[in-house]
Amino acid sequence: MWGREQYTLYGILFIVFAILLSVSACISIALTYFQLSSEDYRWWWRSVFSTGSTGFFMFLYSVFYYFKRSNMSGTVQTLEFFGYSFLTCYVFFLMLGSVSFFASLQFIRYIYVNLKMD
């Protein structure tokens, strides 16, 4: 039905997913560096929330979408929409938060291994 085009979609989605993960890692490393520069060494949870908060904004947009753009009504539709939206946003929070944490952890290990005390 779609010809060869169905395989192109998955390739593009994979490239966008790889860009999302790499941008999240770079943002996390930059924010961790700024935090360490200001001599605040409690970087663990802040690194998780730095890009993990994207899931929170996704959920806020789904609330906006439900009330302003969609024509959904009824209790079952509302519960199903917000249930799946919450689960999807929570998975994004965990995924981006863990990528952010491990990128910051590798950055911290790299800079402290190469730290020279003269």
Q: Which pLDDT value is given to residue 1?
A: 52
More confident residue, 4 or 38: 38
Report pLDDT digits (tens) over 90-118.
999 999 999 999 999 999 999 988 887 65
Map tokens 């730290």 to a residue. Answer: 115
Crossing angle between the packed helical segments 75-113 and 44-64, to the nearest 10 degrees: 150
What's the pLDDT band for 71 if we cut at 50, 70, 90? confident
Report pLDDT digits (tens) over 25-67.
999 999 999 999 998 888 999 999 999 999 999 999 999 999 9
Domain assignments of the chain as residue spans, ordered by start: 5-113
**Reduced DSSP (H G I as helix, E B as strand, rest coil) percent helix, strand, coil of the chain, to 5:** 85, 0, 15
Q: At 55, list the tokens.
A: 């899931």
Q: At 8, list the tokens.
A: 């192109």
More confident residue, 73 or 23: 23
Q: Which residues of 45-82 are buried (b: 16+ CB within 10 A; e: fewer)?
A: ebbbbbbbebbeeebeebeeeeeeeeeeeeeeeeeebe
In the predicted model, is pLDDT for residue 80 greater than 60?
yes
